[in-house]
Structure 1
Amino acid sequence: MTDTDTEAGTPSAPMGRRERKKAATRQAIADAALRLFLERGYDDVGIREIAEAADVSTTTLFKHFPVKEALVFDEDAAQEARLLAAVRERPRDQSIPAALRDHALRYRLAGAGGDDRFTAFFDLVNTTPALRDYVQNMWLRHTDALARVIADESGLPADDPGCTALAHFTLEAPRAARGHGDPRQAISRAFDLLENGWRAPA
């Protein structure tokens, strides 16, 4: 889904006319793609159809979205900003794994709150293997940035392997929700492991 809003408390410089036009074109393409995907399914919609629906050429479409999967996800930078803020801006008495758990529950399971548009979007992703793989690989690109913030907040060297491991497993944790009847419980269980280590049931 697209996200053109700035992060709360982060002012942005006004865009010029050219930048506004580019942003509007990008948004129109993404909106057309998502509408068609939700109506007919990701695999049954072609790039040319999306371009026609957005009233642009396929060349213009590919300037904004280099691969078809990217049409569904247009907020990579905003996702990373929220992820890092979850660590930096957590309450003083909250652990880093707990802050990241709350972030995962808030943003990765947004569709569970009854919003029909979010529900349809997450259903599309979860039932389309190409999109599931793409979003997971996109999410894992934030590993290095998250590891650096964890290290900084913990007073550890930037290349500390424990921080890298925590970052990686944090970004993998939402996979635990896949296929479970209660995805919130599944994600919470995964983060309990990150917080407390493995403890086999008695």
Structure 2
Amino acid sequence: MSRLPRRKKAATRQALANAARRLFLEGGFDKVTVAEIADAADTAVSTLFVHFPGGKEALLLGDGDERERALTAAVRQRRKDVAILQALRDFLATRGPFDPEPDPESRRIAELVISTPALRAYARTLWTGCEAALTRVLAEQTGRDAGDLSLRLLARYVLEIPDLAGTRPDPLAALDAAFTHLRRGWPDV
């Protein structure tokens, strides 16, 4: 495949995501149609679904691939003196409602996700969809078997934190409380 079609596809994808973000922030997620987004990006609805088969939610939150790569990289690329749970906590502290100093648009997007049931459910699905990958990385980094139920439980608990703690009045304090509990159950991770 030549560079031009790839660049054109990337530009179309970015135009759709930008249009969706702008329209969602202006009018609210539930009031914006895919037809309006496609029109704002000067493309067809069918093209929108080619680039974002997950629909409207994926336009704002992606498909989970970036999330999974970043999550596993946070564990694999941590400094040797940083515990796995600390690396995961630090990673989550930079995302969505936990980010202590988001730019104004990011703050509005986080608020939109939290206040919109469809977006919140999709975000949770994206996080929990990382369970197998996080379990594999935990096994790799701890020298345990990937079939160890304890590691799968830990991965699931970590991946539920954004949904549970992210909606609290003080998300960052809730994030810290969640990891305090996890460290009690997995002190060696």
Give the TM-score taking structure 2 as reference length. 0.91
Residue from 20, 42, 51 that aligns with 1:55: 42
Q: Number of paired residues?
A: 185
Contiguous gaps of at least 5 residues in structure 1: 1-14
Alignment of 1:102 onto 2:90: yes
Q: 1:82 & 1:189 partners in 2: Cα distance?
A: 23
Question: Which residue, out of 154, 158, 165, partners 1:177?
Answer: 165
CA 1:34–1:82 in 2, change beyond 3 Å: closer, same or farther? same
CA contact (8 A) 1:112 1:119 kept: no
* Other structure's SS at 2:94 match: helix
Report the equivalent of 2:147: 159
Q: Is the 8 A contact 2:98 2:172 kept in 1?
A: no
Distance 1:179 1:108 in 2: 11
1:32–1:53 CA contact under 8 A, matched in 2: yes
Counterparts of 2:150 and 2:99, CA distance in 1: 32
* 1:138-175 Cα distance to aligned partner (Å, 9 max, x none): 11111000000000110111211111111111100123
1:22 aligned partner, one-letter code: K
2:11 aligned with 1:19, yes or no?
no
Equivalent in the alignment of 1:144: 132
What is the aligned-residue identity percentage?
44
Distance 1:99 1:114 in 2: 20
Structure 1 residue ranges, 4+ long, deviating more than 3 angstroms after superposition: 108-112
Residue 78 (structure 1) aligned to one of 63, 66, 70: 66
- How much has 1:189 moved relative to structure 2? 0.4
Rounded Cα–Cα distance in structure 1 between residues aligned with 2:134 and 2:143: 14
In structure 1, C-alpha distance between the alignment counterparts of 2:28 and 2:121, rounded to whole Å: 16
| Equivalence map 1:88-127=2 (5 Å) | 88-109=76-97, 111-127=99-115
The residue number in structure 1 matching 2:28 is 41
RMSD: 1.8
Q: Supply the distance in 1 between the matched residues of 2:170 and 2:19 (Cα, whole angstroms).
A: 32
Seen in structure 2, the aligned counterparts of structure 1 residues 169 and 162 have a Cα distance that, compared at 3 Å, is: same
SS in 2 for 1:156: coil
Distance 1:179 1:158, change over 3 A: closer
Contact 2:75 2:87 (C-alpha < 8 Å) held by counterparts? yes
Structure 2: stretches of 5+ with no match in the other structure: none
